[in-house]
Chains A and B, each alone.
Chain A
């Protein structure tokens, strides 16, 4: 228990350190050049005098280190500033958008996890079989098509061709499941193949282990060998791969939201970048990195829990 807590503390420390370095990099990239910030905030047509006045008014003439620490402190306290494009408090702007994106990403995961695990296990249980080869081929193809192209192809079939689904997902009349189907499918298609291939590799490796042969020699049936012996070992890797896939899913979310005009975190970041809304870009970058880092810490913790060889004190006694 003590070791587990120490382990947790160590991981949280690592998380904090990563966030600190990330915050520095983000600030350095976007606010090192103060003239640039002034242009972005005041617009192309502001006069040099206006910019100079704005800079001194807002403390931009202080040394970089001071500005960074002030920004960091504000950020930690939840003072994320005001969007120059939306003219709203950034924190208030981001939270509902995050919720909307969570629905989208959650829907994607809900489709992708069972599908990829089932396909991967089926393919890996008998390596080289016709089923394995076809699942692998389909997986390669679906992962290779960019999200915006998948969105175009699916829209061509289901919106233009069949007319079954709406082509945009603005959710103008509140949350609509019909409008969610296409964006969720695009997200799921992009990652299902990848996770299925990881699961397949893991499953195929496990099926070649001596303990699988031993189970067979004990008289276990093929179904029992897969369910009782192979699955638990084979799923350790994919479960963590799913968590590690989250940065990719987030990237996908941006494209999918923009394509379907879905009002989530991705379109917010997109608008911010098109309009050089520096503070909003900073906040969005920090939030997305935090999501990734937290999910990766959870992936590590799950991994340790699933594999007794890695748990603290789980090593050999001698």
Chain B
């Protein structure tokens, strides 16, 4: 990898599986952004209950993926459902990164008491199974967009912290950091100019993966009925609503499951490609 390679150029040389990943991720981002223009029906309007996929709608148009128990078009709900899942998982992962990266850099570079305290706190939070942690937070605070973001941030930040800390610890021991220290560079500049840029490639990979984890978690919360209040279309919630009748009407649950699976598979393939690329370069 020559240093002159731009990020766009980097994406061009990804292996085929990663290109598929990129395609899936970009596709869902577009769907989320353009939902009102893409969705054939309003996702909240009741039309024909439990129509099979391909049924003609009474007012014209086709229910490509059928309708749910309340007669809402499933394709439109899947399209609109991309918004909370994509939006919240990106937002929650970003806030978790903000917390995890700053704490991890501080712990890895300053070590000593800062590290001991932060590492202990991280290990405490990490000793909760993720879903149990979210359940506790949401039972205490109630289900809402903000609380889902808060819960995911709280749950992911410690894992990010651990990764960043390990990388920072490694880089802080390199001679170029010693050289900066010997020149009288201030700590915050060393963190920004020497440590962060060299930690970035593995963190980018982790960021991609972690958006996927967050999407899985948000989906699982929706499935458990602890996510977003209904009638907001969200993929996990659609599975929860349709589960009771899934034996007779599998289309109620299959499509939202395909949606979330393809999003997370896309993110994972992309992360894997970036990782291979990082090691090669």
Contacts and interface: CB of A to CB of B under 8 A. Distances in A.
Interface of A: 18, 21-22, 25-26, 29-30, 33, 36, 136-137, 140-141, 143-149, 152-153, 155-156, 159-160, 167, 247-248, 250-251, 254-255, 258-259, 269-270, 273-274, 276, 278, 281, 284-285, 288-289, 292-293, 296
B132 interface: yes
A29 B136 contact: yes
* 5 residue pairs, one from A and one from B, having the closest CB atoms: A149-B257, A250-B129, A251-B131, A144-B264, A247-B129
A6 to B, nearest CB: 20
Interface stretch (B58-66, B68-76, B95-103, B120-128): B120-128
B129 A251 contact: yes
B38 interface: no
Given A250-B129, A258-B224, A148 B124 contact: no
Which secondary structure characterizes the binding site on chain B?
helix
Contacts of B253: 152
Contact of B260 (A146, A248, A269, A292): A146
B91 to A, nearest CB: 19
Contacts of B236: 146, 148
B223 interface: yes
A143 B127 contact: no
Given A26-B136, A148-B239, A255 B124 contact: no
Interface string B127-161: 11111100111111000000000000000000000
Which secondary structure characterizes the binding site on chain A?
helix
A152 B223 CA distance: 12
B220 A18 contact: no
Interface residues of B, number: 43
Contacts of B136: 26, 29-30, 281, 285
A148 B267 contact: no
Nearest to A29: B140
Contacts of B267: 144
Given A146-B220, A255-B131, A273-B135, A247 B257 contact: no
Interface of B: 17, 120, 123-124, 126-132, 135-140, 212, 216, 219-220, 223-226, 236, 239, 243, 246-247, 250, 253-254, 257-258, 260-261, 264-265, 267-269, 272
A276 B120 CA distance: 30
Contact of A270 (B224, B258, B264): B224
Given A137-B17, A145-B264, A159-B247, A296 B127 contact: yes
Contacts of B130: 247-248, 251
B37 to A, nearest CB: 27
Given A152-B239, A281-B139, A255 B132 contact: no
Contacts of A36: 140
B120 to A, nearest CB: 8
A148 B216 CA distance: 9
B265 A22 contact: no
B220 A255 contact: yes
A142 B218 CA distance: 18
Given A29-B137, A148-B223, A276-B139, A141 B128 contact: no
B127 A140 contact: no
Interface centre among A146, A153, A278 (most CB of B within 10 A): A146
A289 B131 contact: no
Contacts of B223: 146, 148, 255, 258-259
B257 A152 contact: yes
A160 to B, nearest CB: 6
Contact of A247 (B17, B127, B239, B268): B127
Given A148-B219, A149-B261, A254 B131 contact: yes
A247 B239 CA distance: 24
A50 B224 CA distance: 32
Contacts of B127: 18, 22, 247, 289, 292-293, 296
Contacts of B135: 269-270, 273, 281, 285
B129 A152 contact: no
A274 B132 CA distance: 13
A270 B129 CA distance: 14
Contacts of B254: 152-153, 156
A289 B132 contact: yes
A36 B139 CA distance: 11
Nearest to B236: A148
Given A140-B268, A144-B261, A148-B223, A155 B132 contact: no
